[in-house]
Amino acid sequence: MLTETIKKFVSRLFSTQPRGPERLSADKHGIDRRNVSRHAIKVCEVLQQEGFAAFIVGGAVRDLIVGLEPKDFDVATNATPNQVRALFRRARIIGKRFQLVHVVFGQEIIETSTFRANATAADTQTDEHGRILRDNLFGTQEEDAARRDFTLNALYYDPITEEVIDYHQGVPDLKKRVVRMIGDPEQRYREDPVRMLRALRFAAKLNATLDPATREPIARMAQLIENVPASRLFDEILKLLTCGHAMDCLRQLRSVGLHKGLIPLIDIIFEEKGGEQFVDLALARTDARVRAGKTISPSFLFAALLWKLVNKRWESLINAGEPPVQALVQAADSVIDEQTEKLAIQRRFQSDMREIWFMQARFDRTPPKAIWRMAEQPRFRAAVDFLQLRAEAREVDSVQAQWWMDLANTDDALRAEMIEAYAEQYRTRGSTGPRKRRSGRRRSGGAGTRTRAATESMQP
């Protein structure tokens, strides 16, 4: 009897058949349920009460385990999209390649998907490169886990039992900070080339390393990124630049050649004098805002990323005899036209980028009356922030940049005093920008004291 028991144990130990998922309790996975969205919990509760399986999945589970705050929460279930929609008052089905349900709770949307199967060639629609275009075959939870890209994303958290279900050793990979592809990496990249970008982003965000088998095909297959729709690439590059580790992502893109299909001008930008430093400063500010939970402006981000190239062409056109403002317009248009062919920057962002750039030429030799008009522009504060960035990179005078920042931070009454002091200089000296002056009335106390003091200390 003992011999038979040992044989069965050895057989199970060395069996090539799947042994089922690991089921980890709260003391093993470390997720604090208080950090989970109450709306995501509500979706799981309603679905489970109706007899369906329902779990929080993907990035939210990954981030909760490593101690990060998830940006959003997704749910996976064995209920079909129509069954999910029927259970919630505010829910709508979206998607072409994958049908999903958006369950709306005020400002929060819980994206809910049905478990999907590993489809056969007959069940899927692909392009000539193997990229999946349409695929809506529903399946089991185990099949759904096998379809997910990386082991650290194939995790299912039940907020009712507080149990994590792990089919592919994702929790150990998370603990070891390893990004590992599920299945054959080359095939998975061919199915969806965006997975190459996601691999690099997760490695940077989690301070992780890429599993050698996951990393090796990327350089060879980088050209496949050109087959992805431009709008989707824009969304992915924006995720890269706003993940809190933007410069690391950019360097990783360059290390494997992926940037050539995304931001081909970045090599030229980095070769410019101070180009890499300027981008590093801009992305460091972006990372700081991400980590502080503040909003990010894509317009400002891409304006900073492409500025060195715009600035070089601007200076070249000025040296060729073009007026500064007109030269800046031409430089900006040429760079945007070249870059958007690859990156598909949306028109509203292009417009904002141009305003931020154009205002840089107006910060010098600005007539006093024009300052009021500038201050009323929607992108004035962003342009001033950009001027501060240029000052930090030693492109412009820091005193001048601070004067504009103080102006942007003041109320109308104090702004009027600052512009009046500036106008006096402008009349007497033909000022090319704010300068320090010696005299003037000081306010004692109040929110404007520091700004007023900076204005009154202007030298002749």
Which of the residues are catalytic?
72, 74, 149
Nearest to 353 by CA among 381, 382, 330: 382
Please give the C-alpha separations between residue 122 and each of 125, 130, 140, 145, 188, in angstroms, as whole numbers: 8, 13, 19, 21, 18
Distance CA 423, CA 405 (A): 17
Say how far apart CA 425 and CA 170 lie, in whole Å: 66
3-state DSSP assignment of residue 211: coil
Please say whether the dihedral angle defined by the alpha carbons of residues 313, 319, 325 and 330, taken in this order, is positive or negative. negative
Contact 134, 125 (CB under 8 A): yes
- Report d(CA 330, CA 354) in Å as an integer: 11
Closest to 329 in 3D by CA, of 301, 296, 362: 362
Q: DSSP for 108-176?
A: EEEEEEE-B----GGG-EE-TT--EEE---B--HHHHHHHSSBGGG-EEEETTTTEEEESSSHHHHHHH
Rg of the chain over CA atoms, in angstroms?
A: 28
The Cα 314–Cα 2 span in angstroms is 84
